[in-house]
Amino acid sequence: MRVVVPFGGDSPKTRLAPFFDADERRDFALAMLRDVLDAVESTGNDPVVLTDRPVDVHVPTILDDRPLTDAVNDQLGGDDPIAVVMADLALATPASLTRLFEMEGDVVAAPGLGGGTNALVVRTPEFVVDYHGASIADHREIADDIGVSFVEIDSMRLAVDIDEPSDLVEILLHGRGRTREWLDELGVTLDTTDGRAEVVCHRR
């Protein structure tokens, strides 16, 4: 299966600005992207990065600086199944992605915790995406309007996308690979002194 991995490389992860500077955010986003690509390849599928600027990865890339919805829709519409997996799913594993890819349904979606759509498998050429707002509800409605099945997968590892400093807790608790190593090297650790896990960064 062809797996499209959208990556916003122009100014990534701006909501992490209180925690990381611009160069660090780019490095962090790239570490997550490479972990997602590794996980996809471990499932036996072929990822391609859909990016708004050139990026140094070992897989094919498609340069498209249009908004996410337009860029992804340009990749859909064929007769063959296609998956879309976001580049900031730092907890994704081959097992969680395999479950997504193998689940039956015209459209299979992994909802994000905040109402987004973190991953999709599309098996019908009529389906289009709309990533504005609470996109999981929009995608459910789009599938209903065109009369195709819409299946949602319940997966913690695919539900957590890394946008806010609080999301870093999940990487430190459950993550592995380049993203976890990057945080460790920067000195990002867990603090549970107030009875709740939070992240702190000890600059080296």
pLDDT at 203: 60
The pLDDT tens digits for 67-107 are: 999 999 999 998 899 999 999 999 999 999 999 999 999 99
> Which whole number is the average pLDDT over 155-161?
96
Q: Where does residue 125 fall: left (phi above 0), alpha (psi -120 to 50 degrees), or beta otherwise?
A: alpha
The pLDDT tens digits for 5-27 are: 999 988 889 999 888 999 999 99
pLDDT at 75: 97
Tokens of 164: 């806010």
Domains located in the chain, CATH noted: 2-163 (3.90.550.10)
The pLDDT tens digits for 185-200 are: 998 988 887 777 887 8
Sign of CA dihedral 131, 136, 141, 144: positive
pLDDT at 111: 97
Q: Name the percent of the chain in helix, strand, coil, to the closest 5.
A: 35, 20, 45
pLDDT at 196: 79
State the Cα–Cα distance between residues 19 and 43, nearest whole angstrom.
Answer: 33
CA dist 68 to 63, 152, 189, 196, Å? Answer: 12, 21, 32, 35
The pLDDT tens digits for 99-142 are: 999 999 999 999 999 899 999 999 999 999 999 889 999 999 99
The pLDDT tens digits for 25-84 are: 999 999 999 999 999 999 999 999 999 999 999 999 999 999 999 999 999 998 899 999
pLDDT at 198: 80
